[in-house]
Amino acid sequence: MIKFFRKIRYDLMEKNKTGKYFKYAIGEIVLVVIGILIALQIDNLNTKKIENQREIKYLTNIKLDLNKDIESLEYNINFRHKKALGIEKLLNQINGQQILNLSETTYNVVNTLYQEKFQPSNVAYNELVSSGNMNLISNDSIKIYLFDLSLLYQSNSYYNEHETSEYEENISKPIFRLTDIERMKPVFLGLKTAEQANISERDFEALFKSQVYKNGCVILNWTSEGFIELYENLKTKSVKLVELIDLELKK
């Protein structure tokens, strides 16, 4: 009988030991899991912090590029407006209006040779796209504006190529063939008046009779109107994007 009770006691002690070991093992597993979860959380926080820093850097650089673009766009818009006015005066004179200011006419003729191009300073955006890091930009509105601007940049590039072709065929060739650029240059630069450069109305007769040059001027005004509209759109979106980026950087 005594042996029986001793056996029972021994079994109970063994069960208690097993229970303690089991609880201890469970506790160890729970601690390991908790440790892993904490480590993952810390790693995620560190990764998020690094990504936030990279996003801030990209947004800051994109903002710098946009501010350069806005300044350039304002210059190009003013240039296009002034050039369009000069071309309109030339077209009126080509159509028979008397030349009242030879220096102004000389300036306007030479100015038709100049093709002012807007080239976006989108280095940061191109780097963002080419590196596959667009997902770093957390604000969807900023992504949409960046995509819209990229499409407008493509349109600008296409218009520039088209205008360059028009310049070569319809503006440059007639001027080089029918006028004396050397005598007109100092007048264009403001160093001499047309009279001082011995320029008279007869110096423009052949050019103004050129249907190619006239058509070139008409096309230039059409394209300038298109560029002005494009530049205004680009400027509006660029200003709005800068505002969005400022709000994002202040968070």
Residue 129: closest CA among 72, 58, 180, 232: 58
Domain contains 112? yes
pLDDT (average), residues 78-91: 94
Other Cβ atoms less than 10 A from the Cβ of 199: the count is 22
Q: 231 lies in a domain?
A: yes
pLDDT in tens, 34-67: 766 676 666 566 667 777 889 999 999 999 999 9
CA–CA dist 51, 45 (Å, integer): 10
pLDDT for res 115: 84
CB 55 within 8 A of CB 136: yes
User: What is the model's pLDDT at position 34?
Assistant: 74
Instruction: Let me know if residue 15 belongs to a domain.
Output: no
Q: Model pTM?
A: 0.79
Are 122 and 114 in contact by the 8 Å Cβ rule? The answer is no
Residue 69 lies in a domain: yes
Evaluate whether residue 39 is within a structural domain: no
Quick: pLDDT tens for 198-233: 999 999 999 999 999 999 999 989 988 999 999 999
Which domain covers residue 240, as residue numbers? 52-249
Tokens of 172: 């440059």
Residue 25 forms part of a structural domain = no
Q: What is the structure's pLDDT at 8?
A: 47
- At 180-206, the pLDDT tens digits run 999 999 999 999 999 999 999 999 999
- Tally the domains of the chain: 1
Q: Is residue 207 part of a domain?
A: yes
